[in-house]
Amino acid sequence: MEKKLDNYDAAEDCALGSVLMNDKKLLRKIDYHLLPIMFLTYFLQMIDKISINYANVMGLQDDLGMTGNDFSWLATAFFLAYAVAEIPQGALLQRFPVTKVLGANVFCWGVILCCSSAASKFSHMLALRVLLGLMEAVIAPSLTMYTSMWYTRAESTPRYGFWYCGLGVGQIVGGLISFAAQHAPPAMPFGGWRIMFVAIGAVNVLVSILVIFLLPNSPENAKFLTEPEKVRIAQRLTNDSAGVGLKVFRWRSVLEAFGDLQTWMLVLLTIFITIPSGVITTFSAILIKGFGYSSRESALLNMPSGIVSIVATMVSTYAISKGFSRWLAIDLLLLPTLLGSCLMSFLPSENQAGCLAGIYLVNTTVAPLALIYAWTGANYRGFTMKVTGAGIVSAGFSIANIIGPQTFQAKDAPHYIPAKITIVAVNAAAIVVSTALRIIYGRRNSVADRLGAPARSRIETRLANKGAAGDAQDDESFRYVY
């Protein structure tokens, strides 16, 4: 890219000046070509996750002869595989184009979901959920990396929010799919939940083709951009200390990510936020059914949860794009989550309206995860450090989803009081961790301002002083965003 800049003549300079005046037009152009497909991939992986939730109220356990905590182990096995796969998936993202790795995984998990319709016993479904977890582990790191390739840090947050809204839309559409599949004729040998798995899997396969062939590997390879527009994107990311830098693996950057306190604070925050989110994703239909509703009613009544998560995500990410504090947005979003968890935990199940309101409010906990992804994309520099940081944070997401389902024990049915109390406790803890992260980022920026140096963690400073080769040049203007 620097070579291209050096070879520009006066006419090209004039063209570049024209691009400078049309950044909004350029952003709209990028959004139009990228965001719909990114949204579709996140939407589909959400549909994949909650399909097991809806299948459960459609007779999955009876059809597969499941007993006791078997269903909880289906959710746990998925996320155990999800956590284990973060390292190899990160290595693939480092070695191959992000879009090709993502597209191949979307294709594979579509095929696996189709195969799930043929499961005849618990062990079959357990094996398939493990394979699905291995494939879906790529989604958050790949979309985080890909967003960072195109947008400045301020611009990227609402874009994270947009594709992350695929989660809420997945909850809504998943409810409709479940409701429709439950109307399959009883005499059909192919049950409703099996039809649902085939339909969702087939759509995944189709979208994988869009990812592989329509998403450009990077701005430099984008056919829809002119040469001056490609140069402008590179300039904007450089000026903002954003972007991913050169795609070169460096051990120093891996060590910096693992040794950085912010990494483990983000992981802890992700775990605390995701435990309620994971519980609601996997068990909300069961909880609603426990309030006295039928399976069909449960599917429909779960749909407003998606609306809540969409509104919370879009409002918070838009506010941040206008300068609102990220940490404060997370804390404010966790307050209705805390209220909702108290309602669903301590109200009697006979109070259907209050319990439903509690479940809906808990879904505001979905939005902070989009802000954590945005933090990860903004506060790590260089390709290797971003991949490593995103992978570790995504592993935290899977760990939380391992813990969450295990709080739902068969012996606690139908009210699952220990699981509900867990949701209350981790929400309160998340508020503390989010506030602590703001203090850490603020202190690092203050030290950088005083020294006239880039904001860095202690391990970054130590390795830089030793002359180790890093992922990105030390830009003195770099500051953490919070």
High-pLDDT (> 90) share of the chain, % = 9
Q: What is the pLDDT of residue 102?
A: 93
Quickly state the pLDDT bin for 2 (edges 50, 70, 90).
Answer: very low
| Window from 91-100, 105-114, 214-223, 397-406 with minimum mean pLDDT | 397-406
In the predicted structure, residue 299 carries a pLDDT above the cut 80: no
Q: What is the pLDDT of residues 57-72, one digit of tens each?
A: 677 777 788 877 787 7
Average of per-residue pLDDT across 25-30: 89
Task: Convert 438-462 to b/e letters by CB count within 10 Å (16 or more is b).
Answer: bebbeebbeebeeeeebbbbebbbe
CA dihedral 37, 401, 77, 197 (to 10 degrees): -40
**Could you tell me if residue 323 is left (phi over 0), alpha (psi between -120 and 50 degrees) or otherwise beta?**
left
Residue 1 clears pLDDT 80, i.e. is over it: no
Q: Which of 21-35, 140-154, 286-300 has the lowest mean pLDDT?
A: 286-300
Measured CA to CA, the distance from residue 10 to residue 408 in angstroms comes to 67
230-245: average pLDDT: 74
User: Where does the pLDDT of residue 100 fall: very low under 50, low under 70, confident under 90, or very high at 90 and above?
Assistant: very high
Segment 309-316 shows an average pLDDT of: 88
pLDDT of residue 421: 77
Bigger pLDDT: 66 or 97?
Answer: 97
> CA 378, CA 3: separation in Å to the nearest integer?
26
Given a cut of 90, whether residue 346 has pLDDT beyond it is: no
Q: What is the mean pLDDT of residues 109-113?
A: 90
Rg, C-alpha atoms of the chain = 23
Residue 91, C-beta contacts closer than 8 angstroms, at least 6 positions apart: none
Average pLDDT over residues 12-36: 74
pLDDT confidence band for 416 (50 / 70 / 90):
low
The whole-number average pLDDT for the span 76-104 is 87
Query: Could you tell me the pLDDT band of residue 342, with boundaries at 50, 70 and 90?
Result: confident
Mean residue pLDDT of the chain comes to 79
Least confident of 20-29, 195-204, 244-253: 244-253
- pLDDT tens for residues 419-473? 777 777 888 888 899 999 999 888 888 888 888 777 777 777 777 666 555 555 5
pLDDT at 20 over 60: no
Find the mean pLDDT for residues 133-138: 88
Percent of the chain scored above 70 by pLDDT?
Answer: 83
SS3 content of the chain, % helix, strand, coil (to 5): 80, 0, 20
For residue 413, pLDDT over 80 is answered with no
Compute the average pLDDT of residues 332-343: 85
- Return the CATH class of domain 17-465: mainly alpha
Average pLDDT over residues 117-133: 87
Highest-confidence segment of 135-144, 175-184, 317-326: 135-144
Q: Model confidence at 280, in pLDDT bands (50, 70, 90)?
A: low
CA atoms within 13 A of residue 204's CA, in its CB half-sphere: 31
Q: What is the pLDDT of residue 206?
A: 92
pLDDT on residue 8: 46
Q: In the predicted model, what is the mean pLDDT of residues 211-228?
A: 88
Given a contact cutoff of 8 angstroms between Cβ atoms, the answer to whether 154 and 124 are in contact is no
Q: Which two tokens stand for residue 447?
A: 């030290």
pLDDT of residue 3: 44
Please give the Cα distance from 64 to 242 (Å, whole number): 49
